[in-house]
Amino acid sequence: MVIVFSCKEMNEKELLSRLKKTKKKLKNKNLISINNLSLKELNLVLDTAEIFREFIRTNSKKKLDLLEGKSVINLFFESSTRTRTSFELAAKILGADVVNISGEATTRKKKGESLVDVVRTLNAMHIDAVVIRDNHSGASDIVAREVGCAVINAGDGWHEHPSQALLDLLTIRGHKKFKNLKFTLVGDVLHSRVAGSLLRVLPRLGVKVTVCGPESFLPVKVEKFGVKKETNLEKSLNGADVIYALRVQTERAVRIGSSMNEYAKSYCITQEKLKLAKEDAIVMHAGPVIRERDLSTEVLDSPQCVVLEQVENGVAVRIALLYLLLAD
Ligand code: CP
């Protein structure tokens, strides 16, 4: 799918006037879990993101001064394409100063400095926000206890990825109503932080969630999130409005009983399997997509697939988050 837009430019004056109408602060100064946001605040982030999305879609010069004089540190101890780039773009569009620190180059990885000491050091430089990705669940929470600035969890181990859930909600909202929506989450649910945030938020919005994958990929007692469990892909797709495929988290040394080929045969979303869902179902994936394992190329390239819309919404949501957390 290629995204092409042409519409009337939203100028800065109009942007500011629309922001003024929605402008409220978030109660929490950090975003560690999607549960840090009330339903009202979730809607505020999505509404604000829609305004910024229109601005960036319609302006060739995407530069504002709403966060002029603020500094944002992107501290990524794990690889990232989408999240790191969109947080950097978001901060720059808002006029903040951005410093990117990537895992291998840090004194934590090279010289053995602890995470707490790294972030205490950064905090002493009077920064305004840390966006952190780490392979340990709970890392962003530990950081938030150590620093006075805002902390945004950009993915912590298997735990959560709240800004991903927000961009996913914005994408779904563009196509469907949440109430009674049939949402099928397919793949490595157990090791996925994307699933961690989605399972915490979707039932709160009235979405009917089914998780599907081999038994070893489904968390024990996953039903406690208020979701259904299914190991048969065909059954789980029947009548679905949204199909969300998850990548097998091979970087977390995930093993599956059967081979990857067997897994793909049973759980890859192909055009044939997609026909079991509703005719107007959308297909989502947080990326990176592994073709022919998570989604077939045909499905990835089909008009039902909204993966690139998710990427676009990722920038808008992260602009909204930084603005709502940091703007004076
Ligand atoms: N969706 C996501 O978190 O992708 P990246 O790992 O590329 O940031």
**Tens-place pLDDT, residues 229-254:** 999 999 999 999 999 999 988 776 56
pLDDT tens string 8-47: 889 889 999 999 887 678 999 999 999 999 999 999 999 9
State in words which class domain 12-160+311-326 has: alpha beta
Res. 103: pLDDT tops 80 = no
From atom 3 of ligand 1, which residue's Cα is the shortest distance away? 83
| Closest atom of ligand 1 relative to the 78 alpha carbon | 6
Domains 12-160+311-326 and 176-305 share a fold: yes
Sheet holding 208-212, edge to edge: 228-230, 208-212, 182-186, 242-245, 282-285
CA-wise closest residue to 308 among 86, 112, 149, 158: 86
pLDDT of residue 130: 97
| Spatial distance between the Cα atoms of 202 and 197, rounded to a whole number of angstroms | 9
Residue ranges of the domains in the chain? 12-160+311-326, 176-305
Res. 77: pLDDT tops 90 = yes
Q: Model confidence at 112, in pLDDT bands (50, 70, 90)?
A: confident
pLDDT of residue 186: 98
From atom 6 of ligand 1, which residue's Cα is the shortest distance away? 80
Segment 52-61 shows an average pLDDT of 93
Res. 264: pLDDT tops 70 = yes
Segment 256-272 shows an average pLDDT of 88
Res. 7: pLDDT tops 70 = no
| Closest atom of ligand 1 relative to the 287 alpha carbon | 1
| Closest atom of ligand 1 relative to the 286 alpha carbon | 1
In percent, the amount of the chain with pLDDT more than 70 equals 95
pLDDT of residue 24: 75
Segment 100-116 shows an average pLDDT of 86
Segment 131-145 shows an average pLDDT of 97
User: Architecture of domain 176-305 in CATH?
Assistant: 3-Layer(aba) Sandwich (3.40)
pLDDT of residue 23: 65
3-state secondary structure 28-66: CCCECCHHHCCHHHHHHHHHHHHHHHHHHHHCCCCCCCC
In percent, the amount of the chain with pLDDT more than 90 equals 85
pLDDT of residue 259: 82
How far is the centre of ligand 1, averaged over its atoms, from the C-alpha of 83 (Å)?
5
Backbone CA torsion sign across 116, 122, 128, 134: negative
